[in-house]
Homo-oligomer: A and B are copies of this chain.
Amino acid sequence: MASEIPSSRALPPTRKRATTLKDIARVTELSVSTVSRALANNASIPESTRQRVIEVAEKLNYRPNAQARALRKSRTDTIGVIIPDIQNPYFSSLAAAIQTVARQVGVSTILSNSEENPEILSQTLDIMDDQRLDGIIVVPHIQSKEKVVELSSRGVPIVLVDRSFEETSIPSVTSDPVPGMTQAFDLLCAAEVQLGYLAGPQDTSTGRQRLDTFEKLCITRDITGSSVYYGGYRQASGYEGTKILLQQGASAIIAGDSMMTIGALHAIHELNLKIGKEIQLIGFDNNPTFRLQNPPLTIIDQHVQEMGKIAFDILQKLIDGEKAQESVLLPTSLEIHGSTAVSLKAFEKNRKASKKRNKEKEAG
């Protein structure tokens, strides 16, 4: 459906009230829910009904955007949050962070675990749409792009978090892997190491961007002999990948997410390698149990609390009919602990030497 801005002449001059789903329902003599589903191309609606709804919507200059939605009075003060894996501590922290800020302003949160399954994700979006939630924050799957775009263009306030879609204007909050991974390279490559990277799934924006960052850093720094394991955001994948990277001679491993970090720890423990000595390890995400390792893990922090807060703030603006900024990119940062002890020693030695050289230069 074209989302043309309706001519104001079509409406009474003193009352610029936008057309709502209810108006379409009244004219078509269908329920609001049927109209909503018809506009969403829901398979349960017969094609003839859908055509009638679309005709009436066009006649009434129905404007499927956030402003039109905001004019509707009925709020449920409930939002939906969809994460891909409830057992992944990064995503459960993200959901908890959103819920905490939502609760502070009296908004309830309904959660859903899509299990990285686009079918479950689409079904959940339908359920949440049906349940008259005020808006949805979703960690999307690439195969759910069409569904998300359709809901968003129909005026459902939606914010993408952690992952984004290319070539859409749906607001998103994602993390920028570049600062954290650049610092990781600075640290690791101070010592003589062979790099290994546990890459996440390439059908997620985070998986692609982090791998891209790794590869670019290898190229710009002329690093050769590094290896990449193409995995998924699963513990088993990190375990398997670490064993393979070690076989290929890696002496410093960067794990591409929380779950693969747990898997990497598992493999390294099993092989009885001393972390920080025999193997340098950098994990992803600020998981409390990573600090409980002996030695504690050096990690790339995505600042998940802030990510959740910003996503909710954007969603609220959409719900209120305000124009939200298109996307926010949160920089990652490196938090250094004992799991990169050898690299850190070399890094600090280099820094001292470099300082000394600079001083000598100044003096000379």
Contacts and interface: CB of A to CB of B under 8 A. Distances in A.
Nearest to A111: B111
Contacts of A93: 87
A249 interface: no
A95 B266 CA distance: 24
Interface size class of A (residues with CB under 8 A): 20 to 34
B265 A78 contact: no
A100 to B, nearest CB: 8
A78 B130 CA distance: 12
A1 interface: no
Copies of this protein chain in the complex: 2
B110 A112 contact: yes
Contacts of A115: 99, 103
Contacts of A288: 235, 262, 266
A209 interface: no
B110 A95 contact: no
Contacts of A247: none
Given A92-B92, A108-B120, A269-B294, 4 more contacts: A95-B113, A110-B112, A262-B288, A265-B292
Nearest to A124: B108
Interface of A: 76, 78, 86-87, 89, 92-93, 95-96, 99, 103, 108-113, 115, 120, 123-124, 127, 131, 235, 262, 265-266, 269, 288-289, 291-294
A120 B92 contact: no
Contacts of A95: 86, 113
A96 B111 contact: no
A289 B109 CA distance: 28
26 contacts: A78-B127, A86-B92, A86-B99, A87-B96, A95-B113, A96-B113, A99-B113, A103-B115, A103-B120, A108-B120, A108-B123, A109-B113, A110-B110, A110-B111, A110-B127, A111-B111, A111-B113, A131-B131, A262-B288, A262-B289, A262-B292, A269-B292, A289-B289, A289-B292, A292-B293, A294-B294
